[in-house]
Structure 1
Amino acid sequence: MRIAMLTYSVKPRGGVVHALEVSEALARRGHAVELMTLGRPGDALFRDTALPVRIVRHTPPDVPFDERIQAMLDAYTEGLRPLLAGGRHDIVHAQDCLSANAALTLRDEGVIEHVVRTVHHVDDFTSPSLIACQDRSITAPDRVLCVSPPWVERLSADFGVTAAVVPNGVDTHRFRPPRDAAERDDARRRADVEDRLTVLTVGGVEPRKGSLTLLEAFARLRETLPHRDPLLLIAGGATLFDYRHEVERFDARVTALGLTRHVRRLGALEPDEIEGLFRAADVFAFPSVKEGFGLVALEALAAGLPLVASDLDVLRGYLTDGESALLHPVGDAAALAAALTRVARDPDLREHLRRGGKEVVAGFGWDASGREHEAAYAYMGSVAR
């Protein structure tokens, strides 16, 4: 098959990582895959790949948010037009509402025949432009996929859309435990964590990630285990959306709690830096309010980190409380703090969770995801026979 895989960014958000990994898995299975995305002038994809990568260049104008989104959509649509024209692809697969709307416009104009869309989750947008973008991207495609069963059920109930499940995966060559004590020590030295109890989260500061809940829990953890001098590392956060007000609230609360020297917002990092943080940390916290799957939680398990996470239905799809993770009620800072404290104090629990996490990871490979995508594409009658 000739596949155009569309995503909205060159930054390592979950949906972008999924798009790249699935594309590489499909290429390993013999398909001709091109990854297409939107990026600023000079930007490159977050990591190297052997795939052809087509970046539609666009500098968002300094205009109100809805106008900026429309400008991005217009630029992406026009940039994709020559890349997709002429029937060069059997499959056009969009991973987000922005790329899906660009592709749908081209489909409606007759430039391409169909659009496949993976819905990772449904956001609670308030912006009229994004509400319209999201709704159209769910109801108008020719085939809809999800990465977890709960979202299949929600799309059916809320939008009347029938979707199929395609699994996520994890790259166990990149996300792995330290090979030995020396590699662990080197990772901790590079992260500058000394001998402190180090809590890691990845995803930046935003409402959906439960950042303020994590901060309150971390403050409690420091009160409970002052002799361990806990440190909170927050990596990632590159996103299309403007969360400056959430960041301002977060920073103000850090100051009010007296945690300025104990909380580090690291921002977007290179892949090898992120992988190093996983090997340096002691525990991974994932207090999200909403997720499509929670790919970074799977990466934490693959890296051998004990995981403390929100009790979300999508996470219960592959995590078991007390076996592969400690799950806490969504938004409950006290419960999150108690779970982090248990992990920090109990080496037997940490080892138990690592073993359980390793068993979970064994069931998630990107090649298996590639096979499931083939089946989804075949359903559309687009596979050459």
Structure 2
Amino acid sequence: MRNIVNEPRVALIGHSTTPRGGHVHTLGLGEALHRAGQPVHLIALGERLYREVDLPHTLVPGPRREGTTLTERTLDGIERLATALAERIDEFDVLHAQDCLAASAALAARERTGAPVTVLRTAHHVDDFTTPVLVECQRRAIVAPDRVLVVSHMWRDILARDFGVDATIVPNGVDLARFARPAAVPKPDRFLLLGVGGIEPRKGTVHAIRALARLRDLDPVFVIVGGHSFQDFAPYREAALAEAAALGVEVREVGTLTDAELAGWYEAADVLCYPSTAEGFGLVAIEAMALGLPVVASDLLVFREHLTHDVDALLPPVGNDVALAAALRRMITEADLRERLAAAGRVTAAGFTWENSAEAHRRVYADLSERPSRSLGVNDSAVRSPEVPGRASAPAAHQH
């Protein structure tokens, strides 16, 4: 543990408490920072965290979903977070947002209060939003903060090219203690391919289903865990499941899990099937590899930063159903390949620790604390939250 005088007080801010990649990153980072002696506090929209944490935190009740549009939920979420942050902004030196809603709220809170805080944003990835308020939220949440972090070289290059932002790369991490006590799960008596992240476009679910249709002679089963998202992917999910039924592919959805349950599925699975079409980093692949599960992913640039085809994973071309089927067939029929990739995968994953990530973040925080925050003008301000019809005042936060 370092002993730095006047170490900056950091608020980690997120728009959700569901176990998606960004929130998993935030909790892992926050706990490592807390263990290292960094003054840090998590503030997030949600009723409860999906797991117990060794991290001071405050939860702000999130927007109502029923009967509301995505635009209304976005603006309401920003307003709720901004209100909570403004009420206690004097407690922090750095507002570290993990998504565009959180960054917009942090910028709005600073603008309203005039507090001399720094706004830092981690851009895990850039979404293909079509909703105008989210498009603008994402843009301002990248260009307006005092500094932007990314977790890969690819996204650093994209932010420089598309937004003119010079981002700093910080590492991701895996905490094996989260998976130390796997729960018993209903393991099928067949070769088990595991998908993590729910059924949605960027997870490449339809490509997995079409590939599995070419493997019916091997009779694998595809189990998909997770699925909570701020956006509504119900039409995609329904179409994907209908196509699976028509092709005779068995897909079992398990839903959102505890860490123990997720560990149980990682342990029960034979291969991780992760044919994403877009990712910020792909933390799921590193988790699986750390636990000794061989991985079939896709040859995304971001995956190739830390995975090597036929060395620690198989990386068929993105969106290529035929190539994905061939890779999965190799995995199913070649036990020695699975063993070789699993062994190499453990070595690769060992390089990603939250302790390393926390140390890199602490250097960023220390550097920011020595510089004045940006003075926001009208054009740089966060997405303002106009009155949303039928929206009640933001409920009070509860602290832990």
Q: Can you list the C-alpha shifts for 1:47-104, whole angstroms capped at 9, x where unaligned?
A: 10121110111342522221221122112211222132x2x11221000001000001
Distance 2:315 2:45 in 1: 36
Residues of 2 paired with 1:376 and 1:253: CA distance?
47
- For the 8 Å contact 2:86–2:110, the answer to whether it is kept is no
Quote the residue 2:357 is aligned against: 369
Structure 1 unaligned segments of length 5 or more: list them.
none
Secondary structure (helix, strand or coil) at the match of 1:199 reads strand
2:64 is aligned with 1:74: no
Q: Distance in 2 between matches of 1:258 and 1:343?
A: 21
Give 1:199's match in structure 2, choosing from 159, 173, 193. 193
Please, which of 226, 230, 245 is the counterpart of residue 236 of structure 1?
226
SS state at 2:296 partner: strand
**Could you tell me how far apart the structure 2 residues matched to 1:169 and 1:374 are?**
15
The structural deviation recorded for 1:175 is 4.2
Q: Secondary structure at the match of 1:328?
A: coil
TM-fit CA distance, 1:140: 0.2
For 1:6, the equivalent position in structure 2 comes to 13
Residue 356 (structure 1) shift: 1.0
Amino acid at match of 1:360: T
Q: Hey, what's the Cα distance between the residues in 1 that align with 2:370 and 2:259?
A: 35
SS in 1 for 2:176: coil
Q: Does 1:247 align with 2:250?
A: no
Secondary structure class of the residue paired with 1:289: coil
Deviates more, 1:67-76 or 1:367-376: 67-76
The Cα of 1:112 is off from its aligned counterpart by 5.0
Helix, strand or coil: the match of 1:174?
helix
Whole-angstrom distance in 2 between the partners of 1:194 and 1:249: 25
Contact (CA 8 Å) 2:179, 2:259: kept in 1 or not?
A: no
3-state SS in 2 of match to 1:324: coil
2:214 alignment partner, SS class? helix
SS in structure 1 opposite 2:279? coil
- Match for 2:265: what amino acid? L
**Partner letter of residue 120 of structure 1?**
H
Provide, for residues 284-329 of structure 1, a one-character-per-residue CA deviation record: whole Å limited to 9, x for no partner.
0111111110001100101111100010111111101001000011
Amino acid at match of 1:310: S
Aligned match of 2:390: none
Task: Please identify, of 14-23 and 69-78, the stretch whose mean Cα deviation from structure 2 is larger.
Answer: 69-78
Distance (whole Å) between structure 2 residues aligned to residue 175 and residue 304 of structure 1: 12
> Deviation digits for residues 170-190 of structure 1, max 9, x if unmatched?
1123347x9xxxx8xxx6xx4
Match of 2:298 among 293, 300, 310: 310
SS in 2 for 1:222: coil
- 1:90-239 matched pairs, under 5 angstroms: 90-109=93-112, 110-175=114-179, 190-223=184-217, 225=218, 229-239=219-229
Question: Which residue of the partner structure matches residue 89 of structure 1?
Answer: 92
Q: What amino acid sits opposite 2:72 in the alignment?
A: E
CA distance in 2, matches of 1:264, 1:81: 44
Q: How far apart are the structure 2 equivalents of 1:333 and 1:367? A: 38
SS for the counterpart of 2:306 is coil
Q: Deviations over 1:109-149 (max 9, x none)?
A: 21452200000000011000100110010000001000001
1:381 aligns with 369
User: Matched residues in 1 for 2:51 and 2:115: separation?
Assistant: 30
Matched, 1:256 2:246: yes
Per the TM alignment, residue 207 of structure 1 is displaced from its structure 2 partner at its CA by 0.6
Q: Distance in 1 between matches of 2:258 and 2:106?
A: 30
CA contact (8 A) 2:271 2:293 kept: yes
Q: Could you tell me how far 1:382 is from its partner in structure 2?
A: 4.5
- What is the TM-score of this pair, normalised by structure 1? 0.91
Aligned residue-pair number: 362
TM-superposed deviation, 1:218: 1.6
- Structure 1 residues 5 and 382 mapped into 2: Cα distance closer, same or farther (>3 Å)? farther
Counterpart amino acid of residue 345 in structure 1? T
Alpha-carbon separation, structure 2, partners of 1:60 and 1:78: 17
> What 5-or-longer segments of structure 2 have no aligned partner?
1-6, 372-400
Q: Is the 8 A contact 2:63 2:76 kept in 1?
A: no
> C-alpha displacement at 1:206, in angstroms?
0.6
Q: Residue type matched to 1:67 in 2?
A: E
Match for residue 397 of structure 2? none
Work out whether 1:65 is the aligned partner of 2:65. no
Identify the residue that residue 3 of structure 2 maps to in structure 1.
Answer: none
Query: 2:40 matched to which residue of 1?
Result: 33
What's the counterpart of residue 255 of structure 2?
267
* Matched position secondary structure for 1:195: coil
Q: Is the 8 A contact 2:92 2:117 kept in 1?
A: no
In the superposition, the TM-score normalised over structure 2's length comes to 0.87
Q: Is the 8 A contact 1:175 1:302 kept in 2?
A: no
Whether the aligned pair in 2 keeps the contact of 1:26 and 1:370 (CA below 8 Å) is yes
SS at match of 1:58: coil
